[in-house]
Amino acid sequence: MNRRKLLTLGAVALIASQWGTPVFAQQGVFKIASLNPITGAGSPYGTGMLKGAQMAVAEVNAAGGAGGAKIDMASEDSQTNPQAAVLAAKKLIEVQKVRAIIGTWSSGVSLAVIPITNDANVLLMHTSGAPALSVAPANAKKLGFRFQATNDRFGRAFAEIAKREKFKRPATMAFNNASGIGNTEGFRKSWTASGGTVVANVVYEPNRPSYRSELQEVLRGKPDVIVTGSYLADTTIILREWYQSGQPARWIIPGWAANGDLLKALGPDVTEGIISVESISAEDSPAYKSFADRFAKEAKMAAQDNVYAAMTYDEVIVLALAVQAVGPTAAADVLAKKVHEIGTPGGTVVNSFAEGKKLLAAGKRVTYHGASSALNFDEFNDVTPDFAASFVEKGKLVRKYVVKL
């Protein structure tokens, strides 16, 4: 019978394709996986994120592994799609038996995957913004770690910067998704809490050919600064149309949108004075410098164009340090507690895996300051980084100061 043959053949093929992967845990190997947005909305960042993680794995293994075990990292494409990501996560956990999944980017993906990782006692390290990822039920077991500042924190950083620059009449423009709105809501809450008013709030839909009407509404309030929760494509269109409108205003834009590509596309006239905000490590962090150099050489990409690559790098390093401290066979909650400890102040500060491994082997407590931020996990395992305000001057981003929340 045709159908039966087809189904059997298919099932056999599916199972056979797994035969190449060892199903039993091997001595001396610690398995993890990177689940990145190689395709889909996050695709501008996914490949870079994977490369950053792979660099970290190579660094750890070159230094002799963690706790006597090599890191073995599988990788899957989340397609920035919760459904595909759930299937990928299941495969990684069930078939490849990974102990940790790193590198998820979109909130939809992380929110869909975290119940699965929680159930399997697998750690999840992500760079998503949704507030729901900090608390129960999503993070009831505290196995989830957020390596990107929450949208709320970004918003507060925006407010600090706006205050510092003495703006009085801010307006907000948000991309209509959880992250964009999270940023501007964070700003609004913080700004109005200190007594200020926001003159206009606009939320715009994705993929429109023009945002002139949306801009019109924002500009009608005659703001002196416009704070955005936006992405590269829409920011390009909005800034273009704003410039053409001729109405003066300053801009505060998240670093993932106001990056080198934006400046190149729009040119120095349009972009002069834009304030780009991103979460950072301490000034001149050696971890970041070392990472950026290696990233440029090996991945042939510029670290500052993909803020998430440094985050996935840190995800692997801090995980490896924890494995070094408690051993590769430690239970998930022990591992998670150690990750938390290494990401919080109190130990000797280290900037690389090798440094940390030496100290841990000598029984000392370490605190890892990473390439993306100095971590500083809060009680929810969210990083609390500092933020850098960089100003565009003559077509180039120049870092002016750091904001500590």
Partner 1 sequence: MTFADFLNLALNGLVEGLLIALPALAVTLVHGLARFPNAATGDVVAAGGFGGYFTFNVTGSLLLAGLGGALVGALVSLAAYYLAFKAIMRRSVITLLLTSIGVGFFIRSVLGMSFGHELKMFSLPLTRAINFHGVLINPTDVQLAGVIVAVLAAVFVMLYVAPVGRMMRALADDPDLGRVSGIRKERVMVVMWSVTGAVCGIAGTVLGMRTTLAPEMGWTMLLPAFAAAVIGGLGNPVGAVAGAILLGVVQELSTPYVGFVYKIALGYVVMLLVLLVRPQGLFNRPQGVR
Partner 2 sequence: MVSYLATILIIMVIYILLAFSLDLQYGFTGLINFGLVGFFGVGAYTSALVTMNLGLPAWLSFPAAMLVAGLLSWPLGRIALRLRDDYLAIVTLGFSEIIRLVIVKEDWLTHGVQGISGIPRLWPNWSSSASELFLLCALITAAALTTLVMRRITQSPYGRTIQAIRDDEVAVIALGKDPSIFKTQVLVIGGAIAGLAGAFYAHYITYIVPDQFVPITTFYIWMAIIMGGVARLLGSISGAVLLVFLLEGTRFLRGYIPGVTDAGMASFQLGVIGVLLILFMRWRPQGLFGKRSAT
Contact set with partner 1 (CB under 8 A): 39, 43-44, 176, 202-205, 207-210, 212-214, 216-217, 220, 232-233, 236-237, 240, 243-246, 261, 264-267, 269-270
Closer residue to partner 1 (CB): 78 or 281: 78
Smallest separation, CB 137 to partner 2 (Å): 5
Selected range binding partner 2 among 14-22, 60-68, 235-243, 252-260, rule: CB under 8 A? 14-22
CA distance 127 to 102: 9
Smallest separation, CB 73 to partner 2 (Å): 14
Selected range binding partner 2 among 9-17, 162-170, 277-285, 314-322, rule: CB under 8 A? 9-17
Smallest separation, CB 204 to partner 2 (Å): 12
Among 58, 63, 95, 237, binds partner 2 (CB under 8 A): 95
CA distance 296 to 311: 16
Which x/- pattern over 62-81 shows residues binding partner 2 (rule: CB under 8 A)? --------------xx-x-x
Place of tokens 């400890």: 341
Among 65, 103, 108, 223, binds partner 2 (CB under 8 A): 108
CA distance 85 to 139: 18
Site for partner 2 in 166-195 (CB under 8 A): 176-178, 181
CA distance 171 to 196: 11
Selected range binding partner 2 among 16-24, 272-280, 349-357, 388-396, rule: CB under 8 A? 16-24
Smallest separation, CB 177 to partner 2 (Å): 5
Closer residue to partner 2 (CB): 312 or 324: 312
**In whole angstroms, how far apart are CA 247 and each of 235, 252, 276, 392?**
17, 16, 20, 19
Query: At CB < 8 A and 24+ separation, what contacts does 339-342 make?
Result: 339/123, 339/145, 339/381, 340/142, 340/145, 340/377, 340/381, 341/365, 342/318, 342/366, 342/367, 342/368, 342/375
Label residue 389 exposed, middle or buried (CB < 10 Å: 0-12, 13-18, 19+). Answer: buried
Residue 81 has which token pair? 């799609």
Closer residue to partner 1 (CB): 204 or 291: 204
Residue 328 has which token pair? 């590769």
By a kind-dependent CB cut-off of 5 to 8 A, residue 90 interacts, out of partner 1, partner 2, none, with partner 2
Smallest separation, CB 279 to partner 2 (Å): 22
In DSSP notation, 81-116 reads: -HHHHHHHHHIIIIIS--SEEEEE-SHHHHHHHHHH
Smallest separation, CB 364 to partner 2 (Å): 38
Selected range binding partner 2 among 84-92, 213-221, 251-259, 317-325, rule: CB under 8 A? 84-92
Residue 124: beta bridge partners?
101, 144
Cα 298–75–39 angle (5° rounding)?
Answer: 85
Label residue 23 exposed, middle or buried (CB < 10 Å: 0-12, 13-18, 19+). Answer: exposed
Residues constituting the chain: 405
By a kind-dependent CB cut-off of 5 to 8 A, residue 245 interacts, out of partner 2, partner 1, none, with partner 1
137 binds partner 2 (CB under 8 A): yes
Closest CA to 183 of 155, 150, 163: 155
By a kind-dependent CB cut-off of 5 to 8 A, residue 178 interacts, out of partner 2, partner 1, none, with partner 2
Residue 383 has which token pair? 């990083």
130 binds partner 2 (CB under 8 A): yes
- Contact footprint for partner 2 (CB under 8 A): 2-3, 6-7, 10, 14, 17-18, 23, 38-40, 43, 46-47, 50, 76-77, 79, 81-84, 86-88, 90-91, 93-95, 107-108, 111-112, 115-116, 119, 130, 132, 137-138, 176-178, 181
